């Protein structure tokens, strides 16, 4: 009887020890996932806010100085936003770009927990502004792509349109979950909306990341590579997939799932950081007026 009791106690101690170890692993995995998400968001925030500065500096000042022709410095990238004689179209493009700036700056603020907690009124008003802006961006994007011909090719037009429909659908779900006070799902839809609304930023950052990583690996990346038509859709599908993985990892009770999710987020964030490192000097070159070189 004493032997049985001793074995029973030993078994309980082993189970308690194993349970404590599992709990510790889970807590550490949660911390890793949390800091991975912070790393991801911090990089996006820095890149987005510099992009906002670029929009104000380049496009805003060009209108103030009545020098909208300078927009066509993007011509080497296949874009000629300014069209002589098309005043209405040029102004629509300008407002569209300013809307992208609002999304870049205000959208990031919407996702900051401190903002929601400390200034809920601002969070609510900024949310209304953000929703109205992304709706306008989607609708004006359809016009600029299909009617004005702002997109360089049919694949870009299709990609822009699909992204626009995602924006409209996610905006609807963001509002719906807010009205029903389903805060958990409202947050998820808001994150998805933020990501697809910034697809054009991800597009450009991804291009520079591709060139930098390709060169670092000894390849010779070029504009005719298959990457570009794929990335036309990947620029919004990959961020969405990453966010979905994060949601899944956050809810999982398995530490290895959380660790794997953290690893994916870290890798994607590093790649995004490389793209920002390449994209930032290019934007500075655009703003400087110097000849564009690649």
pLDDT tens column, 25-61 = 888 999 999 999 999 999 999 999 999 999 999 999 9
Mean pLDDT of the chain: 87
Which of 202, 201, 199, 178 is closest to 190 using CA atoms?
A: 178
Sign of the alpha-carbon dihedral angle for 267, 273, 276, 281? negative
Average pLDDT over residues 63-79: 78
Per the structure, the complete domain to which residue 38 belongs is given by 28-288
In the three-class reduction of DSSP (H, G, I as helix; E, B as strand; rest coil), residue 80 is classed as: coil
Does residue 87 fall inside a structural domain?
yes
Residue 212 included in any domain = yes
How far is 33 from 189, CA to CA, in rounded Å? 20
pLDDT digits (tens, 9 = 90+) for 166-210: 999 999 999 999 999 998 999 999 999 999 999 999 999 999 999
How many Å is the Cα radius of gyration of the chain?
23
| Percent with pLDDT over 90 in the chain | 56
Residue 13 lies in a domain: no
pLDDT band at residue 14 using 50, 70 and 90 as cut-offs: low
- 10 assigned to some structural domain: no
On the question of pLDDT at 74 being above 80, the answer is no
Q: Is 86 left (phi over 0), alpha (psi -120 to 50) or beta?
A: beta
- CA distances for 73 relative to 82, 190, 273, angstroms: 10, 34, 25
Give Cα 285 to chain centroid, integer Å.
Answer: 23
Please, what's the largest Cα pairwise distance for the chain? 99
Domain membership of residue 293 (yes or no) is: no
Residue 170, in any domain of the structure: yes
Q: Is 3 inside any structural domain?
A: no
| Residue 93 CB neighbours (<10 A) | 22
What does pTM read for this prediction? 0.87
Q: Which long-range contacts (CB under 8 A, 24 or more apart) does 282-286 make?
A: 282/208, 283/50, 283/51, 283/54, 283/58, 286/54, 286/58, 286/73, 286/74
For 255, the token pair is 């530490």
SS3 of residue 221 by DSSP: coil
Q: Answer whether residue 42 is part of any domain.
A: yes
Is 8's pLDDT higher than 70?
Answer: no
Kindly state the average pLDDT of the residues 72-84: 73
Number of domains making up the chain: 1
CB 204 within 8 A of CB 50: no
């Amino acid at each position: 009887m004493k032997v049985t009791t001793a074995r029973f106690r030993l078994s309980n101690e082993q189970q308690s020890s194993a349970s404590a170890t599992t709990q510790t692993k889970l807590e550490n995995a949660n911390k890793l996932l949390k800091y991975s998400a912070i790393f991801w968001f911090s990089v996006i925030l820095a890149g987005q806010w510099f992009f906002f500065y670029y929009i104000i500096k380049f496009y805003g000042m060009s209108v103030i100085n009545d020098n909208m022709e300078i927009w066509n410095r993007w011509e080497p990238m296949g874009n000629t936003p300014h069209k002589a004689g098309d005043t209405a179209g040029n102004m629509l493009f300008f407002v569209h770009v300013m809307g992208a700036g609002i999304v870049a700056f205000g959208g990031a603020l919407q996702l900051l927990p401190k903002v929601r907690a400390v200034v809920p009124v601002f969070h609510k008003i900024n949310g209304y502004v953000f929703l109205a802006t992304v709706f306008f961006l989607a609708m004006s994007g359809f016009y600029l792509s299909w009617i004005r011909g702002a997109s360089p090719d049919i694949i870009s037009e299709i990609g822009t349109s699909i992204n626009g429909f995602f924006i409209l659908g996610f905006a609807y779900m963001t509002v719906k979950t807010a009205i029903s006070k389903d805060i958990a799902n409202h947050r998820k839809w808001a994150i998805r909306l933020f990501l697809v609304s910034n697809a054009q930023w991800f597009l450009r950052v991804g291009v520079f990341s591709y060139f930098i990583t390709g060169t670092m690996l000894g390849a010779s990346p070029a504009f005719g590579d298959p990457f570009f038509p794929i990335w036309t859709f990947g620029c919004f599908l990959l961020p969405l997939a990453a966010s979905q993985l994060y949601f899944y990892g956050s809810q999982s009770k398995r530490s290895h799932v959380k660790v794997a999710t953290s690893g994916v987020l870290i890798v994607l964030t590093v790649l995004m950081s490389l793209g920002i490192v390449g994209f930032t000097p290019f934007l500075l070159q655009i703003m400087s007026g110097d000849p564009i070189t690649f």
